[in-house]
Amino acid sequence: MTDTTSPAVHSPGLAGIVAGRTAISSLDGRLRYRGYAVEDLAAGADFEQVAFLLLHGELPTADQHAAFVRRVWQAAAAIDPAVVASLAPLAHREPAASVMDALRTAVSVLGQVELDNLPGNRSVLVAEAERLIGQVPAILAAWLDLTAGRPVASWPAGPGGEPMPLARALLARLRGRPASDAETRLFGTTLVLYAEHEFNASTFAARTVVSTGSDMHSGICAGIAALKGPLHGGANEQVLDQLCEIGSTDRAEAWVNERLAAKRVIMGFGHRVYKDGDERAVLLGRLARETARGTPAEQLEDLADRVAAIMLERKGLKPNLDWPAARVYHALGLPVRVFTPIFVVARMSGWTAHIIEQIGDNRLIRPMSAYIGPPPRTLPPQRDQEHPRDQGH
């Protein structure tokens, strides 16, 4: 084959290519949401404050925060019955559809329920975004109920029926028991850290879809589809599988060596953007260790540290966010199959913010390709073909 690459720079996977501009987050040395360092937000803000910041550009006042919590909670508590009805047949099959596929399907149905055919103005888009931030976690919890063969439970409320913050409500629904303050803070921190990450694969997919003039729900479906892949969101589930497969620290070195010799990817390490380590992984890793101290989970932390040390020595790779997130979710008693869907719940805030930004200053995303096929060729002349006479059949 002949390489007829154009003079334009070709970067596989668009690595290092600036494909657009955004005011939502930056990765210039450290991750910031709307200018705020992510570690500061993780330590001093809850998920609703961060979601409000991503959507509206500024942190909310106390009154705005309370109103936002209420709107998100109301959306979660009022899922249209048509959405649940559309999922029920899929949940009752053997085997049931994957959780990610269920979420993608449900968002598509939500788009039809809300008649979301074309993008509206900014206020309409923001209202859609706020509803989706509440609806998607409620759908996740409903799917777990459906696949377990039990009635879909109502979305949790606080004392006196007051709105419950999303982190506390979702953790309670996923586990079937109330969450403590410490558990809620830890879980909420993971949502903040997963909320936004510039032009990652799923965000870029969502922006590409809406750049065509399509609607928000279609863009979100694309984001979920991209996040499903193990090289993006699906890695956090595989991290725990790997640690369980290793089992103990004395097997760690042999397991890593075997994996590397077979040229198999070890999930939870390396990042396209962070060449000197993922600051989110450092922050959450510290919290994972603190949470496990004095419990049986401490052995898993020791194993994780041992694998991380070997990977740094062998490959020069440091953990990414998926490495500690899997351990935190395991320590919180969550089933592995909801790890990536929780990523979806958190990233709804970032995806919707990017969709609104793309629609607000849109240009169709249409990159060029470098052709590496055959050189120009001429179609050979076609010989006349004799056709059998019609025999009347």
Per-residue pLDDT tens for 7-23?
567 777 777 777 789 99
pLDDT (tens digit per residue) in 19-36: 789 999 998 878 999 999
Question: Which of 67-81, 82-96, 226-240, 317-331 is modeled with the greatest confidence?
Answer: 67-81
8 Å CB contact between 322 and 229: no
pLDDT, position 44: 96
Looking at the structure, tell me whether residues 140 and 283 fall in a common domain: no
For residue 243, the Cα-to-chain-centroid distance in whole angstroms is 22
Count of domains for the chain: 2
Looking at the structure, tell me whether residues 327 and 352 fall in a common domain: no
Average pLDDT over every residue of 121-145: 97
Looking at the structure, tell me whether residues 222 and 242 fall in a common domain: no
Average pLDDT over every residue of 41-49: 97
pLDDT (tens digit per residue) in 70-90: 999 999 999 999 999 999 999
322 is catalytic: yes
Measured in residues, the chain has a length of: 393
pLDDT, position 230: 84
Which one is catalytic: 46, 215, 278, 322? 322
Question: Which CATH number characterizes residue 149's domain?
Answer: 1.10.580.10
Classify strands 32-33 and 25-26 as parallel, antiparallel or unpaired.
antiparallel
Looking at the structure, tell me whether residues 104 and 185 fall in a common domain: yes
Say if 25 falls within a structural domain: no
Cα separation, 50 vs 348, in Å, equals 12
Looking at the structure, tell me whether residues 96 and 224 fall in a common domain: yes
Say if 64 falls within a structural domain: yes
Say if 153 falls within a structural domain: yes
pLDDT at 48 over 90: yes
pLDDT (tens digit per residue) in 243-301: 999 999 999 999 999 999 999 989 888 776 766 778 999 999 999 999 999 988 899 99
Give residue 201's pLDDT band: very low, low, confident or very high (50, 70, 90).
very high
Say if 168 falls within a structural domain: yes
Looking at the structure, tell me whether residues 217 and 241 fall in a common domain: no
Last residue of a domain, one of 331, 350, 368: 331
Task: Express as a percent the part of the chain with pLDDT over 70.
Answer: 94
Whether the upstream peptide bond of residue 95 has omega within 30° of 0, thus cis, is yes
Say if 12 falls within a structural domain: no
The more confidently predicted of residues 197 and 385 is: 197
Question: Which CATH number characterizes residue 286's domain?
Answer: 1.10.230.10
Residues paired with residue 214 on neighbouring β-strands, in sequence order: none
Which one is catalytic: 271, 278, 330, 354? 271
pLDDT (tens digit per residue) in 146-156: 999 999 999 99
Nearest to 130 by CA among 214, 210, 69, 44: 69
Looking at the structure, tell me whether residues 112 and 243 fall in a common domain: no
Say if 387 falls within a structural domain: no
Looking at the structure, tell me whether residues 93 and 209 fall in a common domain: yes
Distances (CA, A) of 351 to 43, 172, 242, 311: 22, 25, 29, 32
Say if 326 falls within a structural domain: yes
Print the domain residue range for 138: 33-229+336-360
pLDDT, position 388: 55
Looking at the structure, tell me whether residues 45 and 99 fall in a common domain: yes
pLDDT at 369 over 80: yes
Cα separation, 126 vs 122, in Å, equals 6
Say if 166 falls within a structural domain: yes
pLDDT, position 234: 73
